Amino acid sequence: MKTVNQLLSASQKRFILFLIFISNLSPFATGQNPINQFYIDSIQTKLKENYAEAKNYFLKNKNNLNPNCYITFLSTSLDKKDISSYKIIFQKFVRDFGYTLDVIDTLYPNNFIYNVKHKNLLKWSMDISKKYHLLWLKNHYVENQINVELMKIFQIDQNIRNLNILRCQPDSNCFLKAWDQDDYSNIKKIKELCKLTNRFPNPYDFGIDAQKAELIIVHNLKNRDTYKQTWTELGSYIEAAYRDGKLNSTLFLIYDQSLIMFENTQYYGTAKNHPSINDPDISKRAKDYKL
């Protein structure tokens, strides 16, 4: 059984880890989703100011936290030389959310991997990855297969942007048409994956690799020719995942940004200064979704 880890090059794994890190820092990464806001309000702002208090809070409430937050905490625990906490959280990160650290990661280490190596925890972390990742795969067979397909779609998405599969100049109509067609084709593939479990791929249920779906959707939401089709295909799945606390409000915000840019209106009321917020339906929607 192939895993996402086997399909990733070292550079791709570094890029995805970077996305995890950025998602924790972005001011748009939390919105008012209770689970994500719980982490930001109670832990992230305290990690540097009062690590002991933040650690205690994290360890007590780790079952309710966004999996994307784990990298931030693990990095900080290493900086603070808190090896025991690092080991507790790292094991949960692998066992519950499918994270892996293997020899490929060590070829071109990012700051997190370098810190693990510097603290002489590389062998231990790799051994734990092998042990608990197999358990995660056993308990998440379908989710792993979906992640493998997501990785294939993600690679297509990146190839489009790297111009590796296009047979035309980047400033030509041919290029733009091919870009739109391939991007929207990816959205339809993601919808088919959603149908398999009737759930939007998210890091809580599908492991940390599932967040690639969001990046692909963002590319489509920012495109004049695909943003509406994208929400028509996937909006209901995104809304359901958000209401379950499995996604933050980023996709709502980006969809509203595109509506404002292309139609001078919005749907979810994330732009409080835009005149459309006075529309009763939009303001009610913003209240219902806590945006």
Q: What is the block-wise mean pLDDT of the chain (291 residues), using blocks of 10 residues?
A: 54 48 37 46 69 82 75 89 94 91 84 91 95 92 94 84 56 53 84 96 91 89 91 96 90 95 95 92 92 85
Do the domain assignments include residue 26? Answer: yes
**Residue that terminates a domain, selected from 96, 121, 139:** 139
Q: Does the residue 263 lie in any domain? A: no
User: What is the structure's pLDDT at 252?
Assistant: 95
Residue at which a domain ends, from 139, 169, 188: 139
Helix (H) or strand (E) holding 79: helix 70-79
Q: Which domain holds residue 46?
A: 4-139
Residues 8 and 133 in one domain: yes
Inside any domain, residue 289: no
C-alpha dihedral (53, 245, 249, 35), degrees to nearest 10: -10
pLDDT recorded at residue 12: 53
Token pair 């998210």 in the structure block, residue: 202
Domain boundary among 106, 139, 172: 139
CA dist., res. 39 & res. 141, Å (int) = 29
Question: How many CB atoms are closer than 10 A to CB 231?
Answer: 22
Residue 54: inside a domain: yes
pLDDT for 181 equals 60
User: Are 52 and 97 in the same domain?
Assistant: yes
Closest CA to 161 of 109, 220, 227: 220
CA distance 78 to 84: 10
Category of 94 on φ-ψ map: left (φ > 0), alpha (ψ -120 to 50) or beta? alpha
Neighbours of 227 (CB within 10 A): 21
21 close to 232: Cβ distance less than 8 angstroms: no
Q: What are phi and psi of 6, to 5 degrees?
A: -75, -20
Q: 0.75 cut: is pTM over it?
A: yes
284 domain-assigned: no
- Domain count within the chain: 2
- Same domain flag for 147 and 208: yes
